Amino acid sequence: MKDESGSLMQWLWPIAFVFCAGWAIWHIPAFLLDFIPPESESLFSQISELHLRKDVTPQMAGLFGGYADPIDWGALILIPIIFYFGARNVKCAPMEYQDWTSIDRFALFVGRITMILIVSMTIVMLYEVLLRYAFEAPTLWANELTLWIAGFVFLLSGLYAMQQRCHIRIFLLYDMVPRWLQHLFDIISVTLIWFFTFWLVFGSYKQIFVKKFYNWEMFGTAFDPPIPATLQPMILIMVTLIAVQATLNLFADWNKVPSENQSMTDMDEDEIAAIKRGVGAE
């Protein structure tokens, strides 16, 4: 099997990661009860009842006398293993940023995970449309699951966009100044990103991780997914990773000429021709 960007193996790794991560995230209450059980009896009882209600394999006994069963542990252990091999074997597609380094494999694989999540979200919506309009049997979970996946797509795509240099940048003033001043602008930009990241994490990590994640706050609907308990901590995690990636970009692009930095924002002739054909201009 060819190890190219479009090969089957390039997509099996992110698919496996999404499956294992989804399973582990859904069963986080079991890990909370095993690793950091709440001191409050009422909160312990609340999370315990929640776990019993949401457990996909309730008939399976917990491992080591705890709440998390062997499948839960297997999914948790496989997450870093799959991510390592997926990032190690990721291949850059022709339309992606070509001047990448080995450390960018992390963001590239996150991009692949994001793509799989988009496909998953589309499948869920199509399934809901089919059941609702063809069989008149709408689900109680499709809308909330779509919102949940979309939240992860929005957050994860930020890291991928930063690595690809396809985030919004205004070059009007940047192109008019000498290279040493452009370096200064780059340093100021990254510094401001870290300034925002620091105060966002510093000001909200207690509320998010203690009140949202540790209490495993649910969405409060019929399906009742843990959207607040998962997406709010993910905001802090992804903002931090984006700041790290911005720093890596700063070092990687330091000795490049401005035209190289802007190459990802310029459309080549083939892309322009494809757009014209699509709108019937030629």
For residues 233-258, average pLDDT: 92
Q: What pLDDT was estimated at residue 7?
A: 79
Rounded percentage of the chain residues whose pLDDT exceeds 70: 90
For residues 131-150, average pLDDT: 93
- Residue 230, Cβ neighbours under 10 Å: how many? 19
Which range, of 4-13, 63-72, 162-171, 263-272, averages the lowest pLDDT?
263-272
The per-residue pLDDT for range 29-78, each reduced to its tens digit, is 999 999 999 888 999 999 999 999 999 999 998 888 899 999 999 999 99
For residues 81-108, average pLDDT: 91
CB 228 within 8 A of CB 212: yes
| 3-state secondary structure at position 266 | coil
Residues contacting residue 111 through CB under 8 Å, at least 6 positions apart: 156, 157, 159, 160, 163, 164
Q: What pLDDT was estimated at residue 1?
A: 37
The residue among 262 and 253 whose pLDDT is bigger is: 253
User: How far is the CA of 159 from the CAs of 177, 189, 196, in angstroms?
Assistant: 28, 16, 16
The residue among 3 and 234 whose pLDDT is bigger is: 234
Q: What pLDDT was estimated at residue 256?
A: 81
For residues 125-152, average pLDDT: 94
| Helix segments in the chain, DSSP class H | 8-26, 28-35, 41-54, 70-88, 105-129, 142-163, 179-206, 227-252, 258-261, 269-278
Q: What pLDDT was estimated at residue 211?
A: 87
Q: What pLDDT was estimated at residue 258?
A: 64
Is the pLDDT at 271 greater than 70, yes or no? no
Q: What does pLDDT average to over the chain?
A: 89
Q: What pLDDT was estimated at residue 222?
A: 86
Q: Give the position of tokens 């979309």.
A: 150
| pLDDT band, very low/low/confident/very high, at 2 (cuts 50, 70, 90) | very low
Residue 5 and residue 7: Cα distance in Å, rounded?
6
Residues contacting residue 6 through CB under 8 Å, at least 6 positions apart: 93
The per-residue pLDDT for range 158-215, each reduced to its tens digit, is 999 999 988 877 778 888 889 999 999 999 999 999 999 999 999 999 999 988 999 9
Residue 280 and residue 275: Cα distance in Å, rounded?
9
Q: What pLDDT was estimated at residue 270?
A: 63
User: How far is the CA of 90 from the CAs of 155, 248, 276, in angstroms?
Assistant: 20, 19, 32
Q: What pLDDT was estimated at residue 281?
A: 62
Q: What pLDDT was estimated at residue 97?
A: 85
Tokens of 167: 């985030």
Is the pLDDT at 263 greater than 50, yes or no? no
Q: What pLDDT was estimated at residue 272?
A: 67
Q: What pLDDT was estimated at residue 264?
A: 46
For residues 263-270, average pLDDT: 54
| 3-state secondary structure at position 43 | helix
The per-residue pLDDT for range 110-126, each reduced to its tens digit, is 999 999 999 999 999 99
Q: What pLDDT was estimated at residue 94?
A: 83
Is the pLDDT at 269 greater than 70, yes or no? no
For residues 250-270, average pLDDT: 66
